[in-house]
Amino acid sequence: MKYALVTGGSRGIGRAICLKLSEMGYPVVINYASNKEAASETQRLIEEKGGTAELLPFDVSSAKNIETALNDWIAKHPDDYIAVLINNAGIRKDNLMFWMSDDEWHNVLETNLNGTFFTTRTLIKYMMNKKFGRVINIVSISGVNGMAGQTNYAAAKAGVVGMTKSLALEAAKKQVTVNAVAPGFIETDMTKDLNQDELKKIVPANRFGKAEEVAELVGFLSSEKAGYITGQVVAISGGL
């Protein structure tokens, strides 16, 4: 059976993606780091609609934690594989570079960049062996255009963009696609501290996006219909 794994699937964009993939018929593996209550709520919402979901806690900032959790899951599912991987887990620790601490730099890169690498490296071989897979990395327009106060976050997401394009070339012959989705300002817990009234003035669409809108794009890229799309970075930013 083909499963879908969403890292950081407990809230916001991750939850919306979990719900969308479940609607598409995938059993969903919901990853979370510490907020089991929110992850369980995502599971409940899926099961209410007749879908199947399970929780898989691990910290994406820890390579050992990732590999242990995923290898345990693989051992318990000998006849199944994770065919759709959504690398969504991420953190922000914004600061101007000359005030940025070592921890603010390292923590953001370990979660957003290293976590994507180690999670994908563990699972990509199974997709390639089965000759079907979808890897979708949730990046940010910050990683494409840059943003003041986000040198750490932008560097991490730009690194994921480079990873996306390179892995797409490695995996294409095995019918595995690798793409990135770059949201702009989306209404989530991660952006609740931002001044929406001011920031929407610089967005041509004059509003923040919805998590469900990001999930619709991810759903399409996860489908068999998107098999000829790979190595791409698709912005969903209201024109920003």
**Contact (Cβ atoms closer than 8 angstroms) between residue 73 and residue 128:** no
Q: Say which residues have a Cβ less than 8 Å from residue 195's Cβ, sequence separation at least 6.
A: none
Please give the Cα distance from 97 to 104 (Å, whole number).
10
- As beta bridge partners, residue 53 has 28
CA quadruple 33, 38, 40, 41: dihedral, nearest 10: -160
Q: Is 32 designated active site?
A: no
Catalytic annotation, pick one of 3, 32, 81, 153 = 153
Q: Say which residues have a Cβ less than 8 Å from residue 203's Cβ, sequence separation at least 6.
A: 184, 185, 237, 238, 239, 240
What residues act catalytically?
153
